[in-house]
A and B are shown apart, each in its own frame.
Chain A
């Protein structure tokens, strides 16, 4: 990776070639994600009978197999797919925006803001739900949005454009600041609350219902709409903002769109599953090693691979040590890390 374009080189592609590669991407990566989502609810520590799951003659309230399938497994698979896809896509966009291969969805302080929101509710105990969504989810979303506003305002203060350096520094500083406040709140809390707080920070997809997913969907839809506009401009932006501007890219608008859609995706993902690490940095790099650096391919491929990867990790989290549950973040790091290193060594 050269200094000029730290997240890879984009080679010019013919339209026919691109169409073919997109088709392959959607078929292979999209197909994998779909297959994983369909198969995941069938796998688990408890043997269940599919016939009983879909047996309409047994009322749902008495049907244990159906409840395991529809409450314990299916929402988890859906949440895993959404969170994994959102984090991986946000990772791609932020790495391009900040022109830094080490950027993650958590670099700009969004997840720290979300975590702070969640900590406040867990530790000061706000026993509340809004339309079936627990207060922790809502508070983490609010925290994420607050962080986005703060970081964006700071990055806009200095000069006309959106300074990626200020963005990065403000994000990193905000991360430390929020972490300090989180530590202080945890210090005030009692033993069981601390337990909850630490566990939330490890990430968990056991949403046991569809309300939090339904709540996150519109936010993710807006983020996806933003992502759809981005790939071509991001390709040019990775070569430098002057270069991009000279090729007709509205740099500020692209940066703004990239920042807000990635932040929205991150905020929604973290409020749904907690700050699950590693996906946002590992998946984009794995995808680049497989398909090259063109964001028109990398972005959808990363979203699909991120979705499939997190759903698989979560099956491991709920199955490997059953009935005890493993933090899914532990599995994403343990599986993703060595695999990425292997890919890195092999590709050199």
Chain B
């Protein structure tokens, strides 16, 4: 690009104008370049594609992907299965020019590569990787500007939350993903790796099982929880429509471990919603929600509902 501009003019303003023109033309052509028939069976990627305005390029999505509220494309987009059961026949029928798969889809990836269809392999990782994925997808779909703006928004949003809770005492927090209904059995909690742990860390909480580095999720016994003595317990539920009575009953189950500071101080929270389980743009609102639970004194203003849309 530099050599190109130098050959056209010698004044200082002229190359700048030309450079802007070249970039603009490049962007315009990029808008129309890249894959135009994308299939994503990864909920996070589907959300990101919608967020960066590349949704018109989608032809198929995963069976469990959520479209933003009010989006009426649900009928148009073909559902092609999910993590456990991607429907390869349906995928081939849609004649995609890019398929986003999980790492575990080794066979499916081979099939697609044999058919000459480009594949993007998605990997679940930490909070910082989400913005990287957004930027990547922006480049792939020619939506660099939108992707960059959303990624930058996320970076600033997370930094703002971090700044707000900075210097505050960090409550020791147990983040529970799942357990047996109405019992403290088979409890799965967040270990020290993964985007939920990162969200907790950003929101100013200290993960009680941060030292468990092996996996995203660790099964812990009631003894381990008693010994860890969390100040706050946050349970994440996948079911978005939990009745209040169910939440109240489930919260009461923790009373068995009355020695826990979280139980004594009534700091047991239940959170629901895709923004807590899908590492997409919604994690900003989710992180802020966690921060409000951990540091209610900092967020004294009444809570605003997270904006409808992605997340």
Cβ of B88 under 8 Å from chain A: no
A206 to B219 CA separation, bound complex (whole angstroms): 11
Known A207-B185, A209-B256; judge A136-B214 contact (CB<8 A). no
Asked whether A45 and B227 contact (CB < 8 A) given A67-B257, A199-B219, the answer is: yes
**B274 CB to closest chain A CB, in angstroms?**
12
- B226 and A67 contacting across the interface, CB-CB below 8 Å: yes
- Cβ contact of A122, chosen from B180, B188, B212, B249, cutoff 8 A: B180
Interface string of B256-287 (1 = CB under 8 A from A): 11110000100000000000000000000000
A209, chain B: closest CB distance, angstroms: 6
B222 touches A72 (CB 8 A): yes
B76-90 to A contact mask, C-beta < 8 Å, 1/0: 000000011100000
Point out the residue from A45, A126, A207, A318 that lies within 8 Å of B181, measured CB to CB: A126
**A323 adjacent to B182 (CB under 8 Å):** no
Given A195-B178, A196-B178, A323-B218, the answer on whether A136 and B226 have CB atoms closer than 8 Å is no
Given contacts A67-B257, A324-B214, contact A129 B228 (CB under 8 A): no
User: CB of B184 within 8 A of chain A?
Assistant: yes
> Are B180 and A136 interface neighbours, CB within 8 A?
yes
* In the complex with contacts A45-B227, A62-B259, A323-B209, A135-B181 CB distance below 8 A: yes
Does B102 lie at the interface of the complex (its beta carbon under 8 Å from any beta carbon of A)? no
Is the Cβ of B178 less than 8 Å from the Cβ of A192?
A: yes
Q: How far is the CB of B105 from chain A (nearest CB, A)?
A: 16
Bound CA–CA A270/B256 (angstroms): 23
Chain A contacts of B258 at CB under 8 A?
Answer: 60-62, 67
Determine if B177 is an interface residue (Cβ-Cβ < 8 Å): yes
B156 nearest CB across to chain A (Å): 31
The answer to the question of A278 belonging to the interface, with a C-beta cut-off of 8 Å to chain B, is: no
Digitize B183-213: 1 where CB-to-A-CB distance is under 8 Å, 0 elsewhere.
1111010010000000000000000010010
Contact A208 B183 (CB under 8 A): yes
CB of B259 within 8 A of CB of A64, answer yes
Indicate with 1 or 0, residue by residue over A185-212, a CB within 8 angstroms of chain B CB atoms: 0010011110110011000101111000
Q: Is the CB of A323 within 8 A of B181?
A: no
Q: How many residues of A contact B (CB 8 A)?
A: 42
CB of A292 within 8 Å of the partner chain: no
From known contacts A199-B219, A324-B219, A325-B224, infer whether A135 and B182 are also in contact, taking CB-CB under 8 Å. yes
0/1 interface trace, chain A 115-134, chain B, CB 8 Å (1 if under): 00000011001111100001
Shortest B19–chain A CB gap in Å is 49
Chain B residue contacts of A135, Cβ below 8 A: 181-182
B107 located at the interface, meaning its Cβ lies under 8 Å from any Cβ of chain A in the complex? no
Residues of the A chain whose Cβ atoms lie less than 8 Å from the Cβ of B259 = 61-64, 67
Render A304-336 as a binary contact track against B, CB cut-off 8 A, 1 for contact: 000000000000001000111100000000000
Answer whether residue A68 sits at the interface, using C-beta atoms and an 8 A cutoff.
yes
Q: Is the CB of B238 within 8 A of A192?
A: yes
**Chain B residue, CB-CB nearest to A130:** B182
Closest to A73 in B: B223
Q: Is A6 an interface residue (CB 8 A)?
A: no
A window 95-148: CB within 8 A of B? 121-122, 125-129, 134-136
Q: Which of B218, B226, B239, B249 has most A Cβ within 10 Å?
A: B226
Q: Which of A196-238 contact B (CB under 8 A)?
A: 196, 199-200, 204, 206-209
A68 and B186 within 8 A (CB): no
On chain B, the residues within 8 Å of A72 by CB distance are: 221-223, 226
Q: Is the CB of B221 within 8 A of A323?
A: yes
- Cβ contacts A53-96/B at 8 Å (1 or 0 each): 00000001111100110011100000000000000000000000
With the chains together, A64 CA to B261 CA distance in Å?
10
Task: Flag if A127 contacts B246 (CB, 8 Å).
Answer: yes
Contact of B180 with A134 in the complex, beta carbons under 8 Å: yes
Residue of A nearest to B226 (CB): A68
Task: Verify A200–B180 contact, CB threshold 8 A.
Answer: yes
- Beyond A45-B224, A322-B223, 7 additional pairs, beta carbon < 8 A: A122-B181, A126-B181, A128-B181, A134-B185, A208-B222, A208-B257, A323-B224
Instruction: Give me the interface of A with B, judged by CB distance under 8 Å.
Output: 44-46, 60-64, 67-68, 71-73, 121-122, 125-129, 134-136, 187, 190-193, 195-196, 199-200, 204, 206-209, 318, 322-325
10 of the cross-chain contacts (CB-CB < 8 Å) are A64-B226, A128-B182, A129-B182, A134-B182, A191-B238, A195-B217, A200-B186, A323-B212, A323-B227, A324-B214
